[in-house]
Structure 1
């Protein structure tokens, strides 16, 4: 799974770097996100338990990799939250906020929930790490990073799909039209 996870992060990083949004800000945040995704993939936390490569630990893994890994992960999730809380809430067609219809207001509310969900996930990961360092490992802290990285990624993925649904309303698919009708 390690190799699959690194591969997915590299694909995500490549996609985010090559993605061109509607504004310079969106492009820059996307480029930073891509670089941070590559940072998470390139700098592993440890090689412990990676069968067949334990003998390489002293050669290719350094203790500072862990700090770079978690720093890049935190910054990646902050960029995702910024997408949800700022970039995705901007108008699709150059309308002013006073001209937003009820569906745009609903989409913005969903983007805010997703952004706050990402921020809450980051805080919980940090708090569980601090708790684990102070009091030792518990069942909760063992899986907290995995669980709340997953919730952050689900929040971002859903908000990205919602933002990309702008073209779904014109699809010839009755199923897509039904799915997107409450928000588009």
Structure 2
């Protein structure tokens, strides 16, 4: 019989892999199931099949993160524990689901009709205050995931993995920063000729490294290496 802590360790690795795979494939699943590019990942909430994918995956993120405990908190070297950080990220992910983005500005004619007729699905809305809550929650979710990758995962003794974690964390934060800067430019009517789909683009460049870092932390690289060794 395996010791209990060994079972918990295996469960943690499974959670990491699940979070990683879900993050890696989310933007592609949303786009290819609808065949239409929207202004942001969150706007797929207003499309029938993509909305189910969006709700299921974001809810899974939230629940997995809430159940993830991570490393034991070191009071001498850390200011916040893995558990607290992932709880914040998990709650933020669930807020993103339960308070979806505003329907306007989706760059989709069909969603514009929903918006105009106020025929909102589920918890959909056209409310600026709710939209602000959604944006803040999405930002907190991605920021905490960047923090996990850059500062928490790098306690590994594997230097190659640590480099990957740092790169992924930096890419997450860079993507969030670019979204904020371009939103500010948009509000100030400063046009720099960038794509109208910049939020979707940079959300994707944030969520893919987020997924990669969790996969690496879930020991996927060793799993793949061992698989090839067995085949040879």
Q: Distance in 2 between the 1:105 and 1:143 partners? A: 36
Deviation at 1:44, TM superposition (A): 1.8
User: What are the residue-to-residue correspondences of 1:1-184 with 2, within 5 Å?
Assistant: 1-2=44-45, 3=51, 4-24=53-73, 25-48=81-104, 49=111, 54-55=117-118, 61=125, 62-91=127-156, 100=157, 104-135=158-189, 140-165=194-219, 168=222, 173-174=227-228
**Alpha-carbon contact 2:146-2:173 (below 8 Å) kept:** yes
Q: Deviations over 1:43-80 (max 9, x none)?
A: 122134276674356x9733211110110111111101
Q: Which has the higher contact order (CA 8 A, sep 6+)?
A: 2
CA 1:137–1:45: 2 relative to 1, 3 Å? farther
**Alpha-carbon contact 1:36-1:75 (below 8 Å) kept:** yes
**Alpha-carbon contact 2:62-2:89 (below 8 Å) kept:** yes
CA 1:67–1:175: 2 relative to 1, 3 Å? farther
Q: Distance in 2 between the 1:32 and 1:65 partners? A: 19
How many positions carry a matched residue from both structures?
166
User: Normalization by structure 1: what TM-score?
Assistant: 0.77
Q: Which runs of 4+ in 1 moved over 6 A?
A: 136-139, 175-178
Counterpart of 1:107 in 2: which secondary structure? helix
Q: Distance in 1 between the 2:221 and 2:195 partners? A: 41
User: Normalization by structure 2: what TM-score?
Assistant: 0.62
Between 26-35 and 168-177, report the one with greater CA deviation.
168-177
Q: Distance in 2 between the 1:125 and 1:52 partners? A: 26
Deviation at 1:137, TM superposition (A): 6.8
